[in-house]
Amino acid sequence: MLAKELISDVVPSLKTSDSGLDALNWMEVFRVSHLPIVNNKTFLGLISDIDIYDLNSADEPLGNHALSYEAPYVYDYQHIYDVVETASRLKLTVIPVLNDDKEYLGLITQSDLLHHFADLIAAHTPGGIILLDLLPRDYSLPEIARIVEDAEAKILSLYVTQPFGNEQYSVTIKLNRTDVQPVLNAFERYGYTVGVAYVGENAYDDAAQRNYDSLMKYLSI
């Protein structure tokens, strides 16, 4: 999933002839806190609602103000992981997309980004979730996949994290079945440590819910 596939069809960019009040109105309509300023196809930078509130005369054109625009962007060929990283690191509600010639193509909204990322990790697909705790030397994706498939399940998504200061990996596995017990039994037979598991269609183990909430908070920028 590439940045060019995530571009919004509805959220406009600003021109230097637009006023701060115009910008605030558009931000309110689309529920964002940033908008790009573009002249023709030249991306000048992002302006935030805080920048506008700091203006002495918000009703004047943006081009009349000596604003220090930030100019973060992604290229159209970059993967959604790169877009998520940029948006999260800079706490952006929109991410401009440029082509190789640095021409402005459009923007990706935070809400669209989260929606597509949820699709990527199969968040909307019914299925159980298992978290494994293991050392990096014990991590083997082919072996994990084999164990899951031997238990008559499939992996819909998998991601690996290593909390700061922790030598262990936390491996989160989304399965294609809600009855995870056969998979849990299989992992236990092979000596894996199962941290927590999603055990029902609508109920997470408390620890699993906290991990999921933390991920969503991180992605919500």
Confidence of residue 174 (pLDDT cuts 50, 70, 90): very high
CATH of the domain at 206: 3.30.70.260
**Whether residue 142 sits in one domain with residue 97:** no
CA distance 135 to 178: 27
pLDDT tens for each residue of 5-34: 999 989 999 999 999 999 999 999 999 999
User: Stretch 91-117: mean pLDDT, rounded?
Assistant: 92
Inform me whether the pLDDT recorded for 211 exceeds 80: no
Has residue 202 got a pLDDT over 60? Answer: no
Give me the mean pLDDT over the 86-113 stretch.
Answer: 93
Our count of domains for the chain comes to: 2
Q: Do residue 84 and residue 100 come from a single domain?
A: yes
Range with the lowest mean pLDDT among 78-82, 114-118, 156-160?
114-118
pLDDT value of residue 207: 47
Residues 95 and 184 placed together within one structural domain of the fold: no
Q: Are residues 53 and 65 in the same domain?
A: yes
Q: In this prediction, what percent of the chain has a pLDDT beyond 70?
A: 88
Q: Please state which of the ranges 9-18, 39-48, 211-220 shows the lowest mean pLDDT.
A: 211-220
Tokens standing for 70?
């930030």
Return the axis-axis angle of helices 80-90 and 110-120, rounded to nearest 10°.
130
Residues 103 and 186 in one domain: no
Residues 143 and 82 both lie in one domain: no
What range defines the domain where residue 172 resides? 121-219
Asked whether residue 114 falls in the same domain as residue 173, the answer is: no
Please write the tens of the pLDDT for every residue from 124-173. 788 889 999 999 899 999 999 999 999 999 999 998 888 777 888 889 99
Among 69, 88, 119, identify where a domain stops.
Answer: 119
pLDDT band at 59 (very low <50, low <70, confident <90, very high): confident
Across the range 34-47, mean pLDDT stands at 92
Q: Among 119, 140, 162, which residue terminates a domain?
A: 119
79 and 127 assigned to the same domain: no
Q: Are residues 8 and 113 in the same domain?
A: yes
Long-range contact list for 153-162, CB < 8 A, 24+ apart?
Answer: 153/177, 153/180, 153/182, 153/183, 156/122, 156/125, 156/127, 157/120, 157/121, 157/122, 159/121, 162/136
